[in-house]
Structure 1
């Protein structure tokens, strides 16, 4: 097996970020990436397998770590006693969202690709995966506090999924709108308050 030339992978990934960012995954061209990087498409295939493998190399580590951070926040919260969960929900939620903002802006290019350019890859369901985790833990929270919906037609898994989807789609608008980190923090603080107030009303009326 021939030895890979040092520095080529870095050039490929730099050019791939630019191509994916400008055109999105579907319309991005490996030929263009290879030409810009001064290499061949064969060199890309030998390193990454295919176009999705290249995209995955760019965003996969950040996407997976973000999901693990989010899951860890949920696990730590649900390990608390029921009384502690109820009294600290708002603060814990706010701190968790700030932790996610910090991580996202520390890996801004990766999240720009995830949010704006991932259609056609396995990462197009990135937000949906977060929503499913949030919905599962919303159920756990209700069970822990003994909250039983009076009308299952209203407060059911489908409703929770839709509301949580609205939250996460709104959360990632900071990327779609190219907000600065400072503006994003202000936006997410208000978003969390808005979301929490809505759930408080729903819980009071349905449980």
Structure 2
């Protein structure tokens, strides 16, 4: 009896899903009446509530598989690209859009009705939330690739979310406007080119706008190269990546920027060498790092915490304040020694 009851429950559940999908597509969310839906499914409202809490719960059940699957596919594509693109973020985007847009478009048309439900029955900002999640996923991967090279400005991450949001909103316009797949393919190709060209241009403009100025992360790179050069006769990008726990593409981009600014030379064998100006800056940063680490440890801070805090303090203090602080502490220690404290 339990088996029969379960089969009957599953049959009714499937019927409600099918009728619900039909009603939502024809009438939209607001136009779909629960009483009318139940009548079309030949069930009572009590039976409906045994399967779904309300109309929105039914809609969520109809679109969940497609929405979750798309995000998983996107992450899978980005994982694969991250593993094979051993270059800079610009190349990451070029490969990503060239390889992955056809796959993503195929998935959209496989679940076309589900995405249309999600777009047209936009309740509780479900659609905007879905598109923003995709934008956040892509931004998350760009952050991994660039490893904070472009994230010294707090608003920049949100700027990238906006760019990614606009791309995925455009991609799903094919659903909203019922565009046939063959036509969608011809539309999406130039959209991909636009995104690739736009990203490359955006990277260039960041320098013009001053967003690519030497900041915390680039000072960290110079400091790391200095430390490694003091330990080894030769320093390669892979050594820096390992030391800083950054990806090789991140180091590639940083090296490119530091070389362009005259702080670093790259020899034919790939070895990295600080220029006179780069060494001076690296030594200044490293001096501040050692000073704050030692001082904090003298104050009773644990070695690990002192290192972490010194990494932050070394970048934000001005040269004038740092020299004054050093002189003040030196004087204080001299006074203690004089008075036998």
In 1, Cα distance between the equivalents of 2:58 and 2:44?
Answer: 14
* Unaligned segments of structure 2, at least 5 residues: 207-211, 213-341
**Counterpart in the other structure of 1:171:** 171
Structure 1 residue 60 corresponds to structure 2 residue 73: no
Structure 1 residue 24 corresponds to structure 2 residue 21: no
**Counterpart in the other structure of 2:5:** 3
In 1, Cα distance between the equivalents of 2:85 and 2:110?
Answer: 33
Secondary structure in structure 1 of the residue aligned to 2:123:
coil
CA deviation string 1:75-118 (max 9, x = no partner): 22223353387656423322211111101101111111112213
**Counterpart in the other structure of 2:86:** 82
Which of structures 1 and 2 has the larger relative contact order (alpha carbons within 8 angstroms, sep 6+)? 1
Residue 205 of structure 1, CA deviation: 2.3
Normalised TM-score (structure 2)? 0.54
Residue 124 of structure 1, CA deviation: 4.9
Secondary structure in structure 1 of the residue aligned to 2:178:
coil
In 2, Cα distance between the equivalents of 1:87 and 1:201?
Answer: 13
* Unaligned segments of structure 1, at least 5 residues: none
RMSD: 2.6
Structure 1 residue 185 corresponds to structure 2 residue 185: yes
Residue 39 of structure 1, CA deviation: 0.9
**Counterpart in the other structure of 1:111:** 115
Residue 160 of structure 1, CA deviation: 0.9
In 1, Cα distance between the equivalents of 2:129 and 2:159?
Answer: 19
Q: How many pairs were matched up?
A: 203
In structure 2, do the counterparts of structure 1 residues 87 and 131 end up closer, same or farther at CA, with 3 Å as the change threshold?
closer
In 1, Cα distance between the equivalents of 2:12 and 2:90?
Answer: 53
CA deviation string 1:163-200 (max 9, x = no partner): 11111111111011110011111111111111111111
Q: Is the 8 A contact 1:24 1:118 kept in 2?
A: no
In 1, Cα distance between the equivalents of 2:68 and 2:163?
Answer: 23
In 1, Cα distance between the equivalents of 2:182 and 2:173?
Answer: 14
- Which of 55, 72, 75 lines up with 1:71 in the alignment? 75
In structure 2, do the counterparts of structure 1 residues 37 and 48 end up closer, same or farther at CA, with 3 Å as the change threshold?
same
Q: Which has the larger radius of gyration?
A: 2
**Counterpart in the other structure of 2:200:** 200
Residue 10 of structure 1, CA deviation: 2.5
In structure 2, do the counterparts of structure 1 residues 170 and 124 end up closer, same or farther at CA, with 3 Å as the change threshold?
closer
Normalised TM-score (structure 1)? 0.85
CA deviation string 1:40-60 (max 9, x = no partner): 121111112322221122111
4-13 or 34-43, which moves further after superposition? 4-13
116-125 or 187-196, which moves further after superposition? 116-125
